[in-house]
């Protein structure tokens, strides 16, 4: 606590209370600001003799009785403001040369024309703004401003300085603001005159707000390092303003670096880098497309080499490869449909455990018997393959030879040589064989 030098407790909802003891027990205190703090009673005289004290702003409270600054007023004290309190009298010695503001106290009913009671004493002159008269007139493009040093347009580093408790209330105080300008360009290592201050005013928090513009000296822009350095010095309050400005904080505006303004302002190196990168990417994409195309062609060729049925077999089968057949071939469903006139009823030869048996005729005139598996007798692909491999190997004069098979579109069909003489039973019973009904 003893190290506190700046106290601002304004606008809090404290319980109404008299002046706290610590008011005059903080040896380092330089500014005491409690506006609308619900304080009442008398103000202890000791407060004003605190050795470091420069500023007392206790507006909007309910202090009453007599305001007595005492006889040993701190030589540092320059501002005492008790506006809108209930003081009925005031005692101040001639040794005090600073500002005393008492507007809004009953005492001013008796002393309306004194400087203490002048309501407008805070703004006696127009707000200070850095002069550009030597630059004649002339407008700058958006985001640029005219430098008071070179009179040229440039991109300033700018922001707002908030002085929380300046020791003066006159926003037209040219001497103070010129001192601030000079300290800014000196401490921030800028060219003399390259600082512009604009329209200082007291905001609703009673902070003095000043728009600050700092101009580059070697061109229209600051570089990143300079912006970081200046921004750090102001934002972290490494920069110390003249004493009468008191404590402050700084809110910077974003800086419009040249690379934000589009590709035209990008460096040559960056453009070359981007172009090379795009070229490499394009070559890689073309290479990938050619490779994919070649792979597809190879896959198609391999499929064609495998042959229709075996390719189909390979697609539908996970286990095993194409069947190894002897003298039997693959038929497409379409081919067998045509040969039986779309499996016409008239071409049915019989019905066995496997399913219906149809008579058919191939385009070369060969008759065939087609055993078409019905739903219940369908085998797994692997079993079907094993069966046709086995059947294709069996050749005997008393056995019907396997001509081929069909395995696609959910069909399993075995194609045999057609026995025109019918079955053994037919021969025994003397039943004649049926006439072939062909689609042709
Ligand atoms: N190669 C063929 N040539 C002419 N007709 C045939 C031929 N194979 C079968 N058939 C006819 O189809 C009918 C059914 O034959 P299929 O061999 O399917 O029955 P199956 O003799 O009961 O034997 P399985 O029970 O093993 O299927 C036979 O009765 C016959 O009339």
Q: Is residue 305 part of a domain?
A: no
pLDDT bucket at 169, cuts 50 / 70 / 90: confident
Binding site: residue ranges? Answer: 371
CA of 310 to the centre of ligand 1 (A): 27
The average pLDDT across 378-405 equals: 84
Say whether both 13 and 75 belong to one domain: yes
- Residues 323 and 313: beta-carbon distance below 8 Å: yes
Is it the case that residue 323 has pLDDT exceeding 70?
A: no
- What's the chain's average pLDDT? 83
pLDDT of 305 higher than 60: no
| Closest atom, ligand 1, to C-alpha of 400 | 1
Judgement on whether residues 117 and 30 belong to the same structural domain of the protein? yes
In a domain, 315, yes or no: no
Same domain, 117 and 153: no
Measured by CA distance, the residue closest to atom 29 of ligand 1 is 350
pLDDT at position 317 is 46
Q: What percent of the chain has pLDDT over 70?
A: 84
C-alpha 198 to ligand 1 mean position (Å): 109
- Ramachandran quadrant class, 29 (left: phi over 0; alpha: psi -120 to 50; beta: rest): beta
Give distance in angstroms: CA of 309 to centre of ligand 1: 25
| Average pLDDT value for residue range 199-226 | 90
331-355: average pLDDT: 92
Q: How far is the CA of 421 from the centre of ligand 1 (A)?
A: 12
> Which residue puts its alpha carbon closest to atom 21 of ligand 1?
352
**Tell me, what's the pLDDT at 435?**
44
Q: What is the CATH number of the domain that holds 416?
A: 3.30.200.20
Least confident of 180-184, 268-272, 358-362: 268-272
Mean pLDDT of 334-340: 93
Number of H helices, E strands in the chain: 8, 21
> Does residue 54 lie in a domain region?
yes
pLDDT recorded at residue 65? 92
Q: Are residues 72 and 149 in the same domain?
A: no
Q: 302 in a domain, yes or no? A: no
Measured from the Cα of 426, ligand 1's closest atom is 31
Nearest residue by C-alpha to atom 28 in ligand 1: 350
Q: What is the mean pLDDT of residues 331-350?
A: 93
**Can you give the CATH number for the domain in which 189 is found?**
3.30.70
Of 38, 36, 321, 19, the closest CA to residue 204 belongs to: 36
- In a shared domain, residues 182 and 90: no
Task: Say if 437 falls within a structural domain.
Answer: no
| pLDDT at residue 42 is higher than 70 | yes
15-19, 49-53, 269-273, range with the lowest pLDDT: 269-273
pTM (predicted TM-score):
0.39
Q: In what order do the strands lie in the sheet with 348-351?
A: 329-330, 402-408, 411-417, 367-373, 355-361, 348-351
Residue 313 lies in a domain: no
The set of residues, in sequence order, having a beta carbon less than 8 Å from that of 419 and lying 6+ positions away, is 369, 400
- Residue 394's contacts (CB-CB under 8 Å, 6 or more residues apart) are 402
pLDDT-derived band of residue 313, with 50, 70 and 90 as boundaries?
A: low
Whose Cα sits closest to atom 4 in ligand 1?
419
Beta-bridged to residue 67, according to DSSP, are: 90
Ligand 1 atom with least separation from CA of 425: 29
Report pLDDT for 299.
63
Q: Which atom of ligand 1 is nearest to the CA of 357?
A: 12
| Mean pLDDT confidence for 240-262 | 85
Residue 262 lies inside a defined structural domain of this protein: no
**Are 113 and 18 in the same domain?**
yes
What value does the mean pLDDT take over residues 95-106?
88
Cα–ligand 1 centroid distance for 352 (angstroms): 6
User: Residue 29 sits in which domain range?
Assistant: 6-121
135 within 8 A of 193, measured Cβ to Cβ: no
Report pLDDT digits (tens) over 108-139: 888 777 888 876 544 456 788 888 777 766 67
> Which residues are near ligand 1 (CB < 6 Å)?
349-354, 357, 369, 371, 400, 416, 418-419, 423
Q: Name the residue with the closest Cα to ligand 1, atom 17.
A: 352
Provide the pLDDT for residue 264: 46
With 60 as the cut, is the pLDDT of residue 3 above it? Answer: yes
| Per-residue pLDDT at 99 exceeds 60 | yes
Share of the chain above pLDDT 90, in %: 33
Q: How many domains does the chain have?
A: 3
User: Using 50, 70 and 90 to split pLDDT, how confident is the model at 26?
Assistant: confident
Give the C-alpha separation, 52 to 29, whole Å. Answer: 6
422 CA distance to ligand 1 middle (Å): 9
Same-domain check for residues 150 and 110? no
Ligand 1 center to 390 CA (angstroms): 18
Quick one: 95 and 149 in the same domain?
Answer: no
Q: What pLDDT, on the 0 to 100 scale, is given for residue 83?
A: 92
The residue whose CB lies within 8 Å of the most ligand 1 atoms, and thus the one to mutate among 349, 378, 400, 434, is 349
Q: Which of 207, 203, 208, 204 is nearest to 171 (CA)?
A: 208
Q: Whose CA is nearest to atom 22 of ligand 1?
A: 352
Pocket test for ligand 1, best of 328, 351, 355, 357 (most atoms within 8 A of CB): 357
Residue 57 has pLDDT above 60, yes or no: yes
Pair 340, 389 in one domain: yes
CATH for 23: 3.80.10
Highest mean pLDDT among 15-29, 258-272, 362-376, 408-422: 362-376
User: Is 51 a member of any domain?
Assistant: yes
* pLDDT greater at residue 430 or residue 144: 144
Please state the residue numbers annotated as binding site for ATP: 371
Q: How far is the CA of 440 from the centre of ligand 1 (A)?
A: 24
Q: Is there a single domain that holds both residue 151 and residue 192? A: yes
């Amino acid at each position: 606590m003893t190290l506190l030098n700046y106290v601002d407790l304004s606008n809090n909802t404290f319980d109404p209370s008299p002046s706290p003891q610590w008011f005059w027990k903080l040896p380092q205190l330089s500014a005491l600001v409690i506006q609308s703090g619900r304080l009442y009673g008398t103000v202890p005289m000791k407060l004003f003799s605190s050795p470091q004290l420069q500023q007392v702003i206790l507006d909007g409270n309910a202090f009453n009785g007599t305001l007595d600054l005492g006889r040993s007023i701190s030589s540092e004290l320059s501002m005492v403001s008790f506006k809108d309190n209930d003081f009925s009298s005031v005692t101040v010695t001639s040794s005090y040369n600073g500002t005393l503001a008492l507007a809004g106290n009953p005492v001013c009913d008796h002393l309306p024309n004194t400087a203490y009671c002048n309501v407008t004493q805070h703004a006696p002159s127009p707000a200070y703004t850095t002069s550009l008269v030597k630059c004649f007139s002339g407008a700058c493009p958006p985001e640029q401003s005219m430098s008071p040093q070179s009179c040229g347009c440039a991109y300033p580093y700018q922001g707002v300085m908030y002085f929380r408790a300046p020791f003066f209330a006159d926003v037209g105080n040219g001497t103070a603001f010129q001192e601030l300008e000079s300290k800014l360009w000196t401490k921030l290592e800028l060219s003399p005159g390259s600082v512009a201050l604009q329209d200082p005013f007291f905001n609703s928090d009673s902070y003095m707000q000043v728009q600050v513009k700092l101009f580059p000296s070697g061109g229209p822009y600051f570089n990143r390092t300079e912006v970081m350095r200046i921004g750090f010095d102001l934002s972290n309050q490494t920069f110390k303003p003249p004493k009468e400005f008191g404590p402050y904080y700084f809110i910077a505006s974003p800086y419009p670096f040249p690379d934000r303004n589009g590709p035209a302002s990008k460096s040559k190196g960056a453009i070359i880098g981007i172009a090379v990168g795009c070229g490499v990417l394009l070559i890689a994409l073309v290479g990938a497309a050619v490779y994919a195309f070649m792979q597809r062609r190879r896959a198609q060729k391999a499929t064609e080499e495998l042959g229709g049925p075996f390719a189909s077999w390979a697609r539908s089968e996970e286990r095993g490869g194409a069947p190894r057949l002897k003298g039997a071939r693959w038929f497409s469903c379409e081919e067998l449909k045509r040969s039986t006139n779309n499996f016409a009823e008239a071409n049915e030869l019989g019905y066995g455990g496997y399913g219906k048996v149809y008579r058919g005729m191939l385009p070369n005139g060969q008759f065939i018997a087609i055993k078409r598996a019905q739903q219940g007798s369908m085998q797994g692909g692997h079993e079907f393959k094993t069966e046709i491999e086995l059947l294709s190997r069996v050749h005997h004069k008393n056995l019907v030879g396997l001509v081929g098979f069909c395995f696609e579109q959910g069909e399993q069909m075995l194609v045999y040589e057609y026995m025109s003489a019918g079955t053994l039973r037919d021969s025994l019973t003397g039943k004649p064989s049926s006439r072939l009904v062909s689609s042709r």
